Structure 1
Amino acid sequence: MNRSPVNQTLLKSISQSVSKNPSSLQTLPNSLINPLYNLLPHTQNPNKIVGIICTNLKERKSTLLDKDMIPHLGTQQVSKILLRCQSDSLAALTFFNWVKNDLAFVPTVHDYCIMLHILAWSHNFSKTMELLSELIELNKSTPGKVSIFENLVVCTKDCSWEPVVFDMLLKAYLKAGLVRDGFITFRKMIKLGFVPKIISINFLLDGLLKLNQIDECWGVYEEMGKIGIRGNTFTFNILTHVICKSEDVDKVNKFLEKMEEEGFDPDIVTYNTLIDSYVRKGRLKDAHYLYNIMYIRRVMPDLITHTSLINGFCKEGNVREAHKLFHRMVQVRLNPDVFSYNTLICGYVNKGMMQEARALLREMVKEKVFPNDFTCLVLIEGYRKENKLISAVNLIVELKKFGILVPKNLQIDLVVVLCRVDKPFAAKSLWERILQDGKETNLQIYDELIVSFCKSDNVNEAILLKDEMFFRNIKPSLTTYRTIIGCLCRLNRTMEGELFMRDMSEFGIHPDAMICRSLISGHCKEKNINQAESLLSLFAEEFQLLYNECYNEVFKAVCEEGDINKSLEFQNRMQRFGYTPNSLSFKYAIDGLLKATA
């Protein structure tokens, strides 16, 4: 890092501020030095602690200080020992770690900063960065966070120092994700005349960009110009992203000219970033203009460039132009990847041009570019949108022939859709193909298929599916039985429906109101009055189901026979089970009387 003349006025101001407000993470105890200590032998005199430790460090002794003298070691002594050892970074680091680890005290920020200067001066940059990261983490988690930068500045008065330590502080902040602290450090460095390296500035710009701090990015760039720091290709590529985020794309041409003035030609990353920005903002003409400029400036558009423009044309609905660009890409020997194909396929699908999209799919497979999940999703959704669900099923079959596995969830979703638009046979066919790929125990799909078959009165197919569930160890649901029983009763096969109801108990499933109504209604319609009455009794006794609606339907059928005594006897029998006649019951009774006397 370059060193420019340090601003002495600011330096003095910072020194006074720090001295008035001494700050530390944790301090060692400051002992009151007793003058009588001088009567003790040298090795037992607390006043000689600094000299004793320095001597022991110089002689590389393992024990730095007698344990009885440790309580007399204070913050002033720690600083003095570090300063005395600054020419021997190994000794200084040994002492610093001893204080930090063996004494279980956290040194002051000031002591950390002295140690950082010593390490940087000795060019031990890896250890310097490690210690900076440690100090930042400690300072971040301590109430009353202090300025590491200002403490580093103050320490320059007392020890040898290397200005690179300030640049390293900037990097350490950014490495820790503390972009705002890094930005503040950058501003302070500039004020004091310290010039950061361009690598650090690039990291700072990238961090500010990710936080969407657009104005701060331009502020850093302006400061670079004032202090004579030249950007590099990375700088300009980051600033290209800044331009795109700022929504002010009119600055682009001026910015490109500025790059050329600085001696940097915009590269493929620069152009791709700008073209992608234009496409996202709907400025396709400007994006295409830049595409042509790339050839003039001998920057060859790559796969990303073409895919961005193809996406732009497709968004505007101009898939023909997008396909022309696709062909041009192939002509210049750029092999389209799955993303290029997907972009164009998506464009065709959005225009409802499914034949063209399908043709592109075949071309992909021919060129050994295998479709991914997104390709399958786009095409299947396209057919669903066009209400061409059978074509979607055929697509899945075709892809399987090519050895391409369509995501199971897409196939299952299509089975459900087919069921709900009354195409149960197509749904079942697709489901059987899914089962060929592995074991599947999806109760919902079986219920969807059974409901769909029963809706179209194909109850035998539904019964076969229910049997298949048994062999696959899938427990039928209430919906399974309710649907099949309802369809059988509707088709005058109520006795079969009743057998299914009795089968439910084996699975611990009890009939509900809908099953009750279906069976009673079916028996009444088929004139099985005795069977209907038997079921009413069964529902009441075994399942505690008392539905007046079902009772009235049977009562109505009894009354229609015109036998008053039989009607009264039925009513008395049902009352014992808890069925209570209501106004509708009396209406049926009166209608029966009128019929009998007619």
Structure 2
Amino acid sequence: MLRASLNPLNQSLTKSTNIYVNFTPRLPFSSLSLQTIQNSHSKPLSNPLYNLLPETQNPNQIVNLISSSLKQANSQLIDLQNDIKPLIHHLSCHEITRVLLRFQSDSFSALTFFNWVKNDLSIKLSSHNYCYIIHILAWSEKFSLAMELLCELIDYVKDCSNCENVFGSLVFCSKDCNFDPVVFDMLIKGYVRKGMVREGFMTFRNILEVGFLPSVISCNCLLNGLLRLNFVDQCWLLYEEMCRVGIHPNSCTFNILTHVFCKDGNADKINEFLERMEEEGFDPDLVTYNTLISSHCRKGRLNDAFYLYRIMYRRNVVPDLVSYTALMNGLCKGGRVREAHQLFHRMVHRGLSPDIVSYNTLISGYCKEGRMQESKYLMHEMIGNGIYPDSFTCQVLVEGYGKQGRLISALNLVVELRRFRVSVSSDIYDYLMVSLCHEDRPFAAKNLLGRISQDGYVPKLNIYNELIESFCRCDSVADALLLKAEMAQRRIKADLVAYRALICCLCRTGKCREAESLMEEMLKSGIRPDPQICRALIHCYCKQLDVDKAESILNFFAKEFQIFDTESYNCLVSVLTEDGDMNKLMELQDRMLKVGFAPNSLTCKYVIHGLLKSTARLENRLKSF
């Protein structure tokens, strides 16, 4: 952190906040001189009658008592706490500050006291108390401890309703104690660590306003934070301001900005930037080339990526695993898996040992092309080299077999992986269960569930639903009901999907009463039915020619749930037209109209069919006389 006289940063990310103190940097003074700090949160104790009390009961002596205890070897603040128990409530923010300032040269004692107040006494500390201990720790080069408390202060201020300015508090407190401007750098990093990049950007500007230069390291940290949030324009504003005020970028800065260019995706600008980087005296390093190669490969510009790969050798920058893996990934995405495998062998011949990412890249490429034999060979090769498949490897291989409809091979692979003691994730088991159910092989899925349950696998609601629906499609309603009972034992509440599948299956197999009983259970559990359930019940009763029951259910769904299913209504009309009793049909239409059903073209077709049928019957009767 350097001193500078600078103009404020023109930026568009956020509005300026005013620094509410006048700051004049000065050399630190001796920590032996006690400073009197006025704190808005509390006032110094000044009642002269306190001096008539014993020392351990005199509020005016609390600072001296604590300081004396801290200066002793093997200080025991717990014992002191018992001795001055009547005075503890007099320990305000002002007295805490006075004690801290007495131990500016003894950061250990200052921190011991601070933690005692915060943790043992549970006294609410002020932001100024935090600032003083942070300054003391930073001055003593206890940077990690200072950073920890600074992050704590950021959270503390964020949760307060008065929205104190952390930077302003640090500046205010720096007037009364030894301080190192590095705390301002730390504040930028603290904001970025907490995801408060806007506040970090504002702090960068405020540091310039009070006459200091942030370090290039804190600027790089802020650039990274802006990049993660995709604030590309602000990255360039920050870089331009760094150059303007004299903060010299380093190779890390240029690598971050290379990432920014890769997000922009303008190849010409990237080349210009590389030239500018070299003019500044920085040669692109391995990180720079890997960033550019990865970006080109993601965007399908393989020619540009391999051009940089060749340039690396000319400039004595040896490609590493990241370089090769990025190129292999680009080739696989472009459907050039064979070339990717050749590059893999070239990498091995040049002395690089492939890792799990390298193998996964090739395995994934082969699986996408449906070349499962090569994928499995690579899996065995990596296991032979002591690299065990991870969840991605297993998922890609299992799904590769699944896409080819080779679920038995996928199941055998899982058995093989377990034999190698490779952990198989629940996501893979979920995929296998769902795939078997979609192929209407619920018994195979149920057998798999029985085996993997012994390893602690617990199916989720959607897996149970898939199994129940698959059993119901196969009209194995008894097995589906057993699964529903198993769900109840595991305290998994059946939802509309399960009830609908079961009710529709029962209706399809002519078990209307059981279906209606299950619907009543569903309603008691607070689940509303849908038109599909209504339709299944109506069709079931209509098949059994129980017209009155069908009409009763149709009325119930309309009045209770506002479900007006025209298909169900037409099914009922169709049954009545077969009887040819037009009086009953017309009476039904009148009742349905009052409930809210409106006939459609199919209803009219059924009615006309009924009238023709009734007329034909009448003519046949007349001819018989």
Establish whether TM, by shorter chain, passes 0.5. yes
Equivalent position amino acid for 1:448 in 2: R
1:477 is paired with a residue whose SS is helix
1:207 is displaced (CA, Å) by 1.4
CA distance in 1, matches of 2:52, 2:219: 57
Moved more, 298-307 or 204-213: 298-307
Superposed displacement of residue 212, structure 1: 1.7
- Given the alignment of the two structures, is residue 145 of structure 1 paired with residue 167 of structure 2, yes or no? no
Measured in 1, the distance between the counterparts of 2:553 and 2:99 equals: 94
Amino acid at match of 1:437: L
What does 1:238-277 align with in structure 2 at a 5 Å threshold? Answer: 238-260=256-278, 265-277=283-295
Post-superposition offset of 1:27: 0.7
In the alignment, which residue of structure 2 is the partner of 1:28?
A: 42
Aligned positions of 1:107-506 closer than 5 A: 107-225=125-243, 229=247, 231-260=249-278, 265-302=283-320, 304-313=322-331, 319=335, 321-333=336-348, 335=354, 336-346=358-368, 348=369, 357-361=371-375, 363-364=377-378, 367=381, 372-378=394-400, 380-381=402-403, 383=404, 392=406, 396=410, 407=428, 409-411=430-432, 414=435, 427-428=440-441, 431-439=442-450, 442-450=467-475, 477-484=502-509
Equivalent AA in structure 2 for residue 210 of structure 1:
R
Tell me the TM-score normalized by structure 2: 0.61
- What is the aligned residue count? 496
User: d(CA) in 2 for partners of 1:55 and 1:281?
Assistant: 65
What residue identity is the alignment partner of 1:590? L
- SS of the residue 1:168 aligns to: helix
Q: Distance in 1 between matches of 2:549 and 2:21?
A: 97
Rate the CA distance shift 1:554–1:315 in 2: closer, same or farther, 3 A.
same
User: What SS does the aligned partner of 2:178 have?
Assistant: coil
* Contact 1:82-1:114 at 8 Å conserved across structures: yes
* Cα deviation digits, residues 392-418 of structure 1 (max 9, x gap): 567657757966999455455555665
Cα pair distance change 1:502/1:208, threshold 3 Å: closer
Residues 132-177 of structure 1: CA distance to partner in whole angstroms, max 9, x if unpaired? Answer: 2333222222233333333333444433323333333333333333
Q: Structure 1: give runs of 5+ residues left out of the alignment.
A: 349-353, 384-390, 419-426, 451-464, 486-499, 521-534, 557-570, 572-580
Q: Give the whole-Å Cα distance in 2 for the aligned partners of 1:165 and 1:502.
A: 77
RMSD, aligned CA: 5.3
In the TM superposition, what is the alpha-carbon distance from 1:86 to its structure 2 partner?
3.1
Letter in 1 for 2:137: L
CA contact (8 A) 2:331 2:337 kept: yes
Q: Deviations over 1:311-361 (max 9, x none)?
A: 545555xx3x44223323224326551232213542x3xxxxx5xx34544
**2:615 aligned with 1:587:** yes
Provide the residue aligned with 1:454 in structure 2: none
1:256–1:273 CA distance, 2 compared to 1 (3 A): same
Rate the CA distance shift 1:517–1:18 in 2: closer, same or farther, 3 A: same
User: Are residues 171 and 225 of structure 1, via their aligned partners in 2, closer, same or farther at CA, if it must alter by over 3 Å?
Assistant: same
Structure 2 residue identity aligned to 1:287: A
Secondary structure class of the residue paired with 2:474? helix
1:71 to 1:555, Cα distance in 2 relative to 1, 3 A: closer
DSSP-derived class of the 1:144 partner: coil
Unaligned runs of 5+ in 2: 9-17, 25-36, 384-388, 419-423, 451-462, 486-498, 521-533, 556-568, 585-606
* Partner amino acid, structure 2, of 1:447: C
Check 1:68–1:376 CA distance in 2 against 1; reply closer, same or farther (3 A cut). closer
Bigger Rg over Cα:
1
Percent identical residues? 32
TM value normalised by structure 1: 0.64
Cα deviation for residue 210 of structure 1 reads: 1.3
Q: Structure 2: how far apart are the matches of 1:469 and 1:432?
A: 11
Match of 1:239, as an amino acid?
L
Q: Superposed, which structure 2 residues align to 1:522-537 within 5 Å?
A: none
Aligned residue identity for 2:338? H
Give secondary structure in 2 for the equivalent of 1:145.
coil
Deviations 1:277-299 (A, max 9, x none): 22333433322322332333344
- Measure the CA separation in 2 of the matches of 1:144 and 1:471: 60
2:33 alignment counterpart: none
Offset at 1:211? Answer: 1.8
The answer to whether the 8 A contact 2:290-2:322 is kept is yes
- The question of whether the paired residues in 2 share the 8 Å contact of 1:373 and 1:407 is answered with yes
Instruction: Check conservation: 2:297, 2:330, Cα contact below 8 A.
Output: yes
Change (3 A) 1:480 1:121: closer
How far, CA to CA, are the matches of 1:243 and 1:435 in structure 2? 53
For the residue of structure 1 that corresponds to 2:157, the secondary structure is: helix
Q: CA deviation at 1:549?
A: 4.4
Tell me the CA shift for residue 274 of structure 1.
Answer: 1.6
Contact kept in structure 1, 2:62 and 2:87, CA below 8 Å:
no
Corresponding letter in the other structure for 1:136:
I
Q: Measure the CA separation in 1 of the matches of 2:52 and 2:38.
A: 33
Q: Distance in 1 between matches of 2:134 and 2:617?
A: 104
Shift of 1:484: 4.9
Q: Deviations over 1:344-383 (max 9, x none)?
A: 542x3xxxxx5xx3454454456457653234435644x5
CA distance in 2, matches of 1:48, 1:508: 78
Q: Deviations over 1:53-85 (max 9, x none)?
A: 587457648379977888887776665554444
**Displacement, 1:241?**
1.7
Q: Distance in 2 between matches of 1:264 and 1:49?
A: 61
Deviations 1:514-543 (A, max 9, x none): 3455456xxxxxxxxxxxxxx889999999
CA displacement at 1:593 relative to structure 2: 0.7
Take 1:39 and 1:468, find their aligned partners in 2: how far apart are those partners? 87
The CA deviation at 1:590 is: 0.8
Q: Residue 159 of structure 1: SS of its match in structure 2?
A: coil
Output the CA distance in 2 between the equivalents of 1:208 and 1:226: 19
